[in-house]
Structure 1
Amino acid sequence: MQLLAYPRETTSLDGTWQAIPDQYENFEGYFEDFFGDGEDDMPTGFAPKPIYEPEASVENEPCDFNIHDGRSVEIPSSWGEELPEFRHYEGWVWFAKSFDCDTEQSGARSFLRFGAVNYKAKVWLNGELLGTHEGGYTPFSFEVTETLQDGENTIVVQADNQRYEDGIPNEGTDWFNFGGINRSVELVTVPQTFVRNYKVETSLDDEVNVHVSAWVDNPQTETAVSVSFPELDREFELTPADKSDEFTGSLSFTADEVSLWEPSDPQLYTIRVATDDDAVVDEVGLREVHAADGDILLNGESLQLRGIALHEEVAGKGRALDSEDVATRFQWINELGCNFARLAHYPHTEEMARTADKEGILLWEEVPAYWDINFGDEDVQELYRQQLRELIQRDWNRASVILWSIANETDHTNDTRNKVLPQMADYVRELDSSRLVTAACFVDEDDDEGLVLKDPLEEHLDVIGINEYHGWYYGDSDNMKHFQEDPNGTPVVISETGGGAKWGHHGDEDERWTEEYQAAIYRGQTSAVADSDQIVGISPWILFDFRAPMRQNEFQRGYNRKGVLDQHGRKKKAFHVLREFYQSGHLE
């Protein structure tokens, strides 16, 4: 179960760390490889330690690496932005930080939590291996209660951003591989028995029904768990469920007692989940989302999603966003007139969903099951479930999140894929049945039927995303008007569409890479989807230009230029076309 940290008071371990590149992967066990398994096998008087031991760095020893004297970097960060000479480096980098701790004041139990390390991480504290983690975008933690020392402590992290054939994502992506400790590192201190996580689910009938589950670490026979909503003046007790660490309970409100969360009124209520010695205080929105008769319904009302897709990236910072960066994204999203955003193609920072809760922006969140994943490999399937679980358990209390996406542009003619993806859809529903399951798929062109959905995954999804680039890679920009819709079928979101343009490059509407060409594509695309009953939303690709090594022509030079903004936030003509379309009321 994911360790909930955000609402707690934690000790930040962000700041200056030491970084040591290790391209040849020498430093772990380096001397053991050369001299044997112990000091007795080494030359007399020469006993250097492995890099992950705090005492490895001793003055005047002939060390080629020193965890206390690497390259100073700020964490969180992407190493190619902090160290420009490593802009395209893929491999191992060792990170180290020393910090002081008063173990008598730190609490009964302590956990070391990482927001994200790309892509594999191996972590030591005071020379003791805590564990490993695979996956570059989701949080993980280790208990360090017995490993923390009174006084100085040293963390060492081996970060590996190499791309792996059996990874998620695998070796081929259309975005840049930013290596590093890209999100915050925290020391979380809690009582012996504490609330590890909780989940709020809302359903509507004649009343507003709220179900709460809480997971308690180290529950005792006498452990009691209470839930309160202070602004609503309600409190109730949870009861033990079948699982030893889970407690559940429900309560109901009349419609007049609460304001349901929605984009035009993103009402949040304080929730307090507490045991005798621990309490988590958070803010949640109460709302219901489901799909029926070709529509997405929020609180029983049909939604039209006016959206945009975006990557997690800032020029000069890589993937290490701060609060100001997050605020700037929502400024752009709101200026466009959006009520919806697709956070592609991996979990973004937790602050995006928390800000969306406050701003009233609906979200699509996804894991990087992208293109050619090795779906038939059992280890890959377990990694797939792990990444889904870590994302969902992190954000399942965010009212803004309405869609969990399980895949992007995978081959719907592949039998193994068609067996595994429905299993992943079912797994998502096991974790969280209160949201909709989707995937970004393709639409097929049939000579007799026009544009049709032939992906067998459709019958396993609540909403189907369609990535299509009519007017850019093929066809005319308004070709989606030929989509053979089923108004009562699976709701469709155009999850990607658009075309490229270099900011400031102008010409005629038929001149590729000009702002005018891109704007014309947007006019055709938006007009084509406006009158479709089955298409309930659109999230064009993409908000801003982003790094992409496979894009290397004279207009791109390592950037995907499909943004309606460039990487510095300068607006292209397509930005204004999309804003005018959303403000026109065609998607209301």
Structure 2
Amino acid sequence: MSKLICRVFIICLSLFSSVSYAQVSSVQNIQARKILSLNGKWNYIVDPYENGYYDYRHDPFDQSKTGTGGFFDDKVQKDKSELIEYNFDLSPQMNVPGDWNSQSEKLELYEGTVWLRRKFNATPEAGKRYFVYFAAVNYESHIYLNGKKLGVHKGGFTPFQFEVTGKLNKGENSLVVKADNTRKQDEIPTVNTDWWNYGGITRDVFLAELPEHYINDYKIQLSKGRKNAINFSLKLADAFAGQEITLTIPELKLEKKYKTDSEGKISDEFTWNNLNLWSPENPKLYAVNIKSATENIQDQVGFRTIEVKGNDILLNGKSVFLRGISIHDENPLLAGRLRSEGDMRMMLQWAKDMNCNYVRLAHYPHNEEMVRLADEMGLLVWAEVPVYWTISWENPATYANAKQQLTDLILRDKNRASVIVWSIGNETPLSTPRLNFMSNLAETARSLDDTRLVAAALEVHRDGNTIILNDPLGEKIDLVSFNEYAGWYWGGTPAEITKYSFNIKYNKPVVITEFGGDALGGFHADENTRWSEEYQESLYKNQIAMLTKIEALRGMTPWILTDFRSPRRQHPVYQNFWNRKGLISETGKKKKAFFVLKDFYNQMQTKYK
């Protein structure tokens, strides 16, 4: 593709993005604002034919002349002759946050539309602004308040909000969500994944009360490669000049005063010596206070640097080996998405029990609370967007969606010290359109945040006993990061895989983002019997022997911490809709390979002290 065509392509994508994603970016650190939780019991209606959205001519009710007639009206019968074919009050309830697949047996495999409704009371005040904030709804959501449409959002794992100032009733309000988790070719992710497509309102819902000129976004972190240069920026929700802002870090006796410029912004860089830098061994967080005339925002922020130099990954200037594991946003012990701090802390503690200093949060943005816990517990994080397998690479709308999800992830988590990698995708097949798509995402990540590494989980191919990595996307990213499944999907038995060697084109740190094999917890046999713990144990031993021959190896996140549910995994005895590659079973039992990896990480910790 010529440079001119590339420029035109990028311009078209940019224009499309500005049209399709016009809503205000979500508020930074929503939990620190004045919020009313709308979590709890929501009534729901399963609607496979979307009768609540389309009339019998398949025209949307919310686009009709009256804008009424759908389930979003939340009507109740006022006289006995009135025909209404739904009733939220008499419908069952489900917990929010929570997916519908794990809360109703008949919905376990359901994909489609479910309507959810929550009634709440509000007392809106003059001079205040109000927003309905969703931390995540999977996948396409249409949001209605008191029968009026607020807007539409696509993407199952990123936060979004709609302003409801002037739309709230004093007293009772009805919030209705049309959630649709139907898989579609042109979406992100696309139709083919290897995880359960949990539908519904899977994360927190809040009604936020904010001042007229509220702080929409802020960033506080070290400048790239500088251990004593603090970069602070802030943006009001509107272009309001002269707003007085005070930044305070009490432990450092730091206080800085600013006034917003004509665009409602602040941007500053200043040096501050003797910072206690964050690391897995020392997860130091400072209490940070950002105060205006009308807001007082508290946060916990760690300061650290991350960069690559030759084959090394440098954390705070020191070479580090990333002792990692991959994690899905799913509780193996209790069906469904991780719902609470306890769920998330359990998963991260299991990683620490293996002596990990690093986790890959695959294959989509995880809960914000998960990343905050990683800050607290001292775990480095690879954060990813669901550009997964075979995407519609040449569809501008698909790219705009991917770019928006990446943008939302970075804006949400840019103040978390634990996050060291923005991942733009997983196992995407080689082609020119794919390279353009992924290269543009890499550029987007760097433009939004130049202080972290940009990577992707690449694929390899083989020539005889040589495993080759020469993906041209490797030029655009900071790590040689790739998945390989020798000993499971190819390469013979575990004992045979040590014959392989690697031919890696790029002189960069190597991080193996996936390897592994399935084992049914509690099934024991010899090391050549598929599905046994002994097979998985032998596979890990021989993978480690094979991979440690790579001179530039600087980390790994084997697949995966725990068994997880997947419709692709259908063997009635060994899988039964579970991917069994976990090192911990669905009952919480550590498999034999868990201890193989732990022993290796103990060795690597000693080596990289």
- TM category (shorter chain) comes to over 0.9
Aligned length: 576
1:64 maps onto 2:89 in alignment: no
What amino acid sits opposite 1:166 in the alignment?
D
1:136-535 aligned within 5 A: 136-203=156-223, 208-238=228-258, 240=260, 244-254=263-273, 257-315=274-332, 316-412=334-430, 414-447=431-464, 450-475=466-491, 477=494, 478-479=497-498, 482-484=501-503, 489-535=507-553
After TM superposition, give the deviation of residue 164 of structure 1 in Å.
0.7
What amino acid sits opposite 1:329 in the alignment?
M
Equivalent residue for 1:90, pick from 108, 111, 117: 111
Relative to structure 1, is the Cα distance of residues 85 and 207 closer, same or farther in structure 2, using a 3 angstrom cutoff?
closer
After TM superposition, give the deviation of residue 246 of structure 1 in Å.
2.5
What amino acid sits opposite 1:112 in the alignment?
V
Identity %: 38
After TM superposition, give the deviation of residue 215 of structure 1 in Å.
1.2
CA-to-partner distance for each residue in 1:331-360, whole Å, 9 max, x for gaps?
Answer: 201100000000011111111100000111
Farther off after superposition, 432-441 or 52-61: 52-61
Relative to structure 1, is the Cα distance of residues 247 and 541 closer, same or farther in structure 2, using a 3 angstrom cutoff?
same
- Unpaired runs of 5+ residues, structure 1, are 42-47
Equivalent residue for 1:20, pick from 4, 22, 45: 45
After TM superposition, give the deviation of residue 204 of structure 1 in Å.
7.0
- In structure 1, the residue matched to 2:5 is none
Distance 1:58 1:164 in 2: 40
Relative to structure 1, is the Cα distance of residues 453 and 102 closer, same or farther in structure 2, using a 3 angstrom cutoff?
same
CA-to-partner distance for each residue in 1:239-286, whole Å, 9 max, x for gaps?
Answer: 656x823311122111xx220011100100111222221122101001
Aligned CA RMSD, in angstroms, stands at 2.5
What amino acid sits opposite 2:502 in the alignment?
F
After TM superposition, give the deviation of residue 219 of structure 1 in Å.
4.2
Relative to structure 1, is the Cα distance of residues 246 and 510 closer, same or farther in structure 2, using a 3 angstrom cutoff?
same
What amino acid sits opposite 1:250 in the alignment?
E
Relative to structure 1, is the Cα distance of residues 206 and 552 closer, same or farther in structure 2, using a 3 angstrom cutoff?
closer
CA-to-partner distance for each residue in 1:77-112, whole Å, 9 max, x for gaps?
Answer: 11011111111111110000110111139x701110
CA-to-partner distance for each residue in 1:181-225, whole Å, 9 max, x for gaps?
Answer: 000100111111111111123137786000011111134332122
Equivalent residue for 2:132, pick from 86, 90, 112: 112
- Unpaired runs of 5+ residues, structure 2, are 1-24
- In structure 2, the residue matched to 1:44 is none
CA-to-partner distance for each residue in 1:517-568, whole Å, 9 max, x for gaps?
Answer: 0000011112222353311001100011111111111311111110011122
CA-to-partner distance for each residue in 1:414-460, whole Å, 9 max, x for gaps?
Answer: 11001221111000101111110000011232349x22211000010
Distance 2:347 2:160 in 1: 26
Farther off after superposition, 185-194 or 271-280: 271-280
What amino acid sits opposite 1:344 in the alignment?
A
Distance 2:476 2:63 in 1: 56
Distance 1:59 1:432 in 2: 59
What amino acid sits opposite 1:2 in the alignment?
S
After TM superposition, give the deviation of residue 131 of structure 1 in Å.
0.3
Relative to structure 1, is the Cα distance of residues 481 and 36 closer, same or farther in structure 2, using a 3 angstrom cutoff?
closer
Distance 1:29 1:373 in 2: 29
Distance 1:19 1:246 in 2: 42
What amino acid sits opposite 1:104 in the alignment?
E
Relative to structure 1, is the Cα distance of residues 121 and 165 closer, same or farther in structure 2, using a 3 angstrom cutoff?
same
Distance 2:403 2:356 in 1: 31
Relative to structure 1, is the Cα distance of residues 480 and 281 closer, same or farther in structure 2, using a 3 angstrom cutoff?
farther
2:288·2:301 contact (CA, 8 Å) conserved in 1? yes
Equivalent residue for 1:102, pick from 123, 131, 134: 123
Distance 1:138 1:415 in 2: 28
Distance 1:95 1:564 in 2: 36
Distance 1:90 1:331 in 2: 32
After TM superposition, give the deviation of residue 304 of structure 1 in Å.
0.1
1:173·1:370 contact (CA, 8 Å) conserved in 2? yes
2:62·2:70 contact (CA, 8 Å) conserved in 1? no
1:505·1:514 contact (CA, 8 Å) conserved in 2? yes
Distance 1:40 1:220 in 2: 37
Distance 1:386 1:161 in 2: 18
1:530-549 aligned within 5 A: 530-549=548-567
1:237·1:249 contact (CA, 8 Å) conserved in 2? no
Relative to structure 1, is the Cα distance of residues 132 and 456 closer, same or farther in structure 2, using a 3 angstrom cutoff?
same
Equivalent residue for 1:2, pick from 26, 49, 71: 26
Equivalent residue for 1:562, pick from 566, 578, 581: 581
Relative to structure 1, is the Cα distance of residues 552 and 585 closer, same or farther in structure 2, using a 3 angstrom cutoff?
same
2:225·2:306 contact (CA, 8 Å) conserved in 1? no
After TM superposition, give the deviation of residue 57 of structure 1 in Å.
4.7
What amino acid sits opposite 2:479 in the alignment?
V
